[in-house]
């Protein structure tokens, strides 16, 4: 008999001098890592159950708890590392594929951290954003590509295609109702409205309570078509066709049956308790021509009143794919880098498939410019935008706007324990259990999202001011504002930036 015992990754360290046995940790932990021992009137822990979500650490009134990494348990080996052995053991025991959540934790290069932003000195003086107007509004969509025509009254005669109009070039990326909770969706919807930006329904349809936020909603259409009907299409400010997701390029959505409770079943129109499968392919799309058909069926159904976004995962031939999409009639292309998050993805795919958003974005922007079709589409970059400097760098690399999702969840309380697929999120985000969902107050959640984006907006203006730029449109694709550090020539060429000092 072989025993597959994997020593826990984390240990709950309790300071018994501080613990008052209030049992709050026990009540708060859906993973049941804390247990009360009546015989000794003492709390104890089951380390095997701990996912390191920090709920107990945060909630403990006497700060008696901390979670520590348990350290290596196997003989040190640079090749057969601890986690590689553990994953193999799990598979030998179960015969199953490994399932993970959120973006890959593997140490792939983060190009944002190897790009530095310019600032003015002496010439082209910097601008003080506290005293001078700074424009961070962005129109997202196709433009005619011709010189604007004005009538005798001076008004613009050129008809602009439908667009999204952002007060700041940041949007909340797609997360479905199902993968995240009602209260998480409510927080995102309210915040988007208050900020004058957009949130994205993801592929799970739209709860009727959120129809009131339609003007700030991007409705998604994925291969499973969950929750897609005429009313849903009419509701949104834009329609996004999901072709791929950065965390799991080439495979589809998979919502575990335990997250399909009654409300989700109603919104998605699938049986309760059965897995919701959005296969990777749309079964009617095998070519750019077929994609064009879906783009135009959506435009026809909404009488050309709203922009259509096509979202793709960043993969090897991304520039050629984006060029095709730009010719498909799509108004906006959203590219999702491989570090992007997910509610559930096979580990091997999350950790091994796709390419970084920085390289994908630069390659796409360059290709569309070379082909003279950059004006035909708006470009959105997502897949681990972590702070306002990442936003500035993304726009300088050619994005019109960015998508954030992991960052938004962190603002709502997520501690990146990467256990979304368990459905037991202690923060009330990636769960459908009513007792857990109610832990997230949507008003407070919305306020924290507003705080986050407002803070980033301020920082973006400061960085723009430093560069002597007072309108964010002048930053878009302005790669002269970036320099690379520690990058080789190939990387610099793809990014289209010079090395620092050059």
Contacting residues toward other proteins, per CB under 8 A: 9, 83, 86-87, 90-91, 93-100, 105, 223-226, 228-231, 233, 265-266, 268-271, 274-277, 279, 283-284, 293, 296-297, 300-303, 346-347, 418-419, 421-422
- Looking at beta carbons only, is 15 or 72 nearer to other proteins? 72
Q: Based on CB atoms, which residue is closest to other proteins, 15 or 272?
A: 272
Q: Nearest distance from residue 38's CB to other proteins, in Å?
A: 30
Least distance in angstroms from the C-beta of 382 to other proteins: 23
Go through 207-216 and write b for each residue having 16 or more CB atoms within 10 A of its CB, e for each that does not. Answer: beebeebbeb
Does residue 174 contact residue 166 with C-beta atoms inside 8 Å? no
Query: From the CB of 292, what's the least distance to other proteins, in Å?
Result: 10
Among 382, 384, 398, 392, CA closest to 459? 392
* Shortest distance in whole angstroms from residue 271 CB to other proteins: 4
Between 276 and 385, whose beta carbon lies closer to other proteins?
276
Q: Determine the 3-state secondary structure of 403 from DSSP.
A: strand
Distance, CA of 188 to CA of 28 (rounded, Å): 24
**Cross-strand partners of 310:** 241, 333
- DSSP-based three-state secondary structure for 378: strand
Taking the complex as a whole, the smallest distance from the CB of residue 234 to other proteins amounts, in Å, to 8
CA dist 439 and 430 (Å) reads 12
Read off the tokens for 225: 């078509």
Copy the structure tokens of residue 365.
Answer: 């922007």
- Nearest approach in angstroms of CB 18 to other proteins is 29
Could you tell me the smallest distance in angstroms from the CB atom of residue 474 to other proteins? Answer: 36
To the nearest whole angstrom, how small is the minimum distance from the Cβ of residue 28 to other proteins? 21
Minimum CB distance to other proteins, residue 195 (Å): 30
Name the minimum Å distance from CB 211 to other proteins: 16
d(CA 426, CA 439): 8
Q: Which is nearer to other proteins, 98 or 261 (CB)?
A: 98
227: closest CA among 211, 200, 206?
Answer: 206
Looking at the Cβ atoms of 270 and 450, the one nearer to other proteins is 270
Q: Write down the least CB distance from residue 304 to other proteins, Å.
A: 8
Please answer whether residues 177 and 209 qualify as being in contact, where contact means their C-beta atoms are separated by less than 8 angstroms.
no
CB nearer other proteins, residue 147 or residue 303: 303
Residue 111 backbone dihedrals phi, psi, to 5 degrees: -70, -25
Contacts of 282-285 with CB under 8 Å at 24 or more apart are 282/222, 282/223, 282/241, 282/243, 283/223, 285/243
Q: Which is nearer to other proteins, 52 or 163 (CB)?
A: 52
Comparison of 9 and 240: residue with beta carbon closer to other proteins: 9
Biggest alpha carbon–alpha carbon distance for the chain: 89
Distance CA 172, CA 194 (A): 13
CB of 266 to other proteins, least distance (A): 6
Q: d(Cα 64, Cα 14) in Å, to the nearest integer?
A: 6
b/e for 161-177, b at 16 or more Cβ within 10 A? Answer: ebbbebebbbbbbbbbb
Q: Given the complex with other proteins, which of 269 and 444 has the nearer CB atom?
A: 269
Closer of 3 and 39 to other proteins (Cβ): 3
CB 180 within 8 A of CB 343: yes
For the CB of residue 228, give the shortest distance to other proteins in the complex, in Å: 5
Whole-number Cα distances in Å, 227 to 172, 233, 241, 277: 19, 10, 13, 13
**Cβ-based nearer residue to other proteins, 275 or 435:** 275
Give whichever of 253 and 428 is closer to other proteins, judged by the CB atom.
Answer: 253
SS (H, E, C) 303-363: CCCCCEEEEEECCCCHHHHHHHHHCCCCCEEEEECCCCCCCCEEHHHHHHCCCCHHHHHHH
- Given a contact cutoff of 8 angstroms between Cβ atoms, the answer to whether 427 and 404 are in contact is no
């Amino acid at each position: 008999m072989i025993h597959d015992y994997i020593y826990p990754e984390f240990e709950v360290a309790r300071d018994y001098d501080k613990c008052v046995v209030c049992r709050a940790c026990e009540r708060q932990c859906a993973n049941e890592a804390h247990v009360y021992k009546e015989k000794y009137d003492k709390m104890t822990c089951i380390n095997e159950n701990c996912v390191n979500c920090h709920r107990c650490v945060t909630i403990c009134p006497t700060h008696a708890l901390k979670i520590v990494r348990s350290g290596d348990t196997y003989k040190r080996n640079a090749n057969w590392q601890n986690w590689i052995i553990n994953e193999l053991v799990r598979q030998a025991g179960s015969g199953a594929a490994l399932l993970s959540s959120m973006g890959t934790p593997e140490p792939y290069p983060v190009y944002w951290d190897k790009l530095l932003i310019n600032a003015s000195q002496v010439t082209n003086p910097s601008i003080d954003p506290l005293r001078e107007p700074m424009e961070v509004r962005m129109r997202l969509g196709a433009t005619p590509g011709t010189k604007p025509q004005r009538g005798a009254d001076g008004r613009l005669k050129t008809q602009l295609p439908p667009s999204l109009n952002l007060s700041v070039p940041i949007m909340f990326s797609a997360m479905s109702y199902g993968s995240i909770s009602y209260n998480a969706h409510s927080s995102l919807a309210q915040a988007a409205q208050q900020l004058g930006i957009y949130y994205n329904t993801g592929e799970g349809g739209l709860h009727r309570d959120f129809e009131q936020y339609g003007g700030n909603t991007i409705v998604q259409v994925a291969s499973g078509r969950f929750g897609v009907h005429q009313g849903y299409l009419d509701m949104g400010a834009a329609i996004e066709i999901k072709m791929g997701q950065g965390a799991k390029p080439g495979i589809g959505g998979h919502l575990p049956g335990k997250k399909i409770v009654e409300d989700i079943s109603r919104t998605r129109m699938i049986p309760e308790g059965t897995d919701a499968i959005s296969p990777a392919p749309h079964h009617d799309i095998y070519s750019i021509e077929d994609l064009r058909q879906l783009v135009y069926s959506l435009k026809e159904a909404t009488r050309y009143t709203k922009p259509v976004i096509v979202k793709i995962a960043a993969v090897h031939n991304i520039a050629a794919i984006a060029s095709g999409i730009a010719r498909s009639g799509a108004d906006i292309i959203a590219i999702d880098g491989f570090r992007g998050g997910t509610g559930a993805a096979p580990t091997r795919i999350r950790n091994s498939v796709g390419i970084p958003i920085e390289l994908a974005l630069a390659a796409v922007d360059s290709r569309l410019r070379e082909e003279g079709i950059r004006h035909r589409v708006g470009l959105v970059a997502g897949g681990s935008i972590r702070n306002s400097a990442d936003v500035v760098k993304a726009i300088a690399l050619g994005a019109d706007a960015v998508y954030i999702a992991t960052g938004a969840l962190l603002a709502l309380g997520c501690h990146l324990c990467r256990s979304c697929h368990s459905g037991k999120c202690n923060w009330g985000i990636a769960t459908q259990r009513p007792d857990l969902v109610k832990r997230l107050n949507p008003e407070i959640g919305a306020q924290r999202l507003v705080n986050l984006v407002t803070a980033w907006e301020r920082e973006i203006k400061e960085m723009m001011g430093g560069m002597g730029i007072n309108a964010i449109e002048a930053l878009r694709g302005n790669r002269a504002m970036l320099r690379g550090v520690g990058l080789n020539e190939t990387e610099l060429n793809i990014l289209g930036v010079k090395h620092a000092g050059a």
